[in-house]
Amino acid sequence: MTEDDSRFMAMALEEAEKSLADGGLPIGAVLVRGGEVVASGHNQRVQEGDPIAHGEMDCLRKAGRQKTYRDTTLYTTLSPCMMCSGTILQFGIPRVVVGEAENFVGDIPFLESRGVSVTLMDDAGCKDVMHRFLAQPGGQALWHEDIMED
């Protein structure tokens, strides 16, 4: 883990906090190339009524068309789900930095088995924003809707 990893994860956490403040799920993401931010985004499922608007997907949409993603790193506050992991593989993103995998294990082993370098930060701030969200009235139900669990 590098200083840049900490800096970019802090930006992803700011995105997660924005989503929480807007009544959404607190998951943020930042796409970086060569030490520069290409795009950032956050989960917008609730705000946009879009079931595919996970934090990583919002970030990648905002990045727009790229000639390649093979020289990028994706920072995400929470372990990516299968949909987002599939997109990471589809775009050939070689490195993913995950803020935490305590609240959602996600698909880190799948990404690693496909050659993606995954760094798990185990970040207290990323855990905290999810804990605050889950403690809110309706937070658990919304989370279960997001991850498609009853």
For the cut 80, the answer to whether the pLDDT of residue 88 exceeds it is yes
- Give me the catalytic one of 56, 100, 112, 149: 56
Question: Rounded to whole angstroms, how far apart are CA atoms 46 and 53?
Answer: 9
Total-model pTM: 0.96
pLDDT attached to residue 55? 98
DSSP H helices in the chain: 3-21, 45-48, 55-63, 82-91, 108-113, 124-135, 139-146
For the cut 90, the answer to whether the pLDDT of residue 1 exceeds it is no
Digit-coded pLDDT (tens) for 94-126:
999 999 999 999 999 999 999 999 999 999 999
Task: Give the burial class of 47: count Cβ atoms within 10 A of its Cβ; 0-12 exposed, 13-18 middle, 19 or more buried.
Answer: middle
DSSP assigned state of 113: H
Query: Which one, of 60, 124, 64, lies nearest residue 87 by Cα?
Result: 60
Active site residue 14: no
Question: Rounded to whole angstroms, how far apart are CA atoms 92 and 88?
Answer: 6
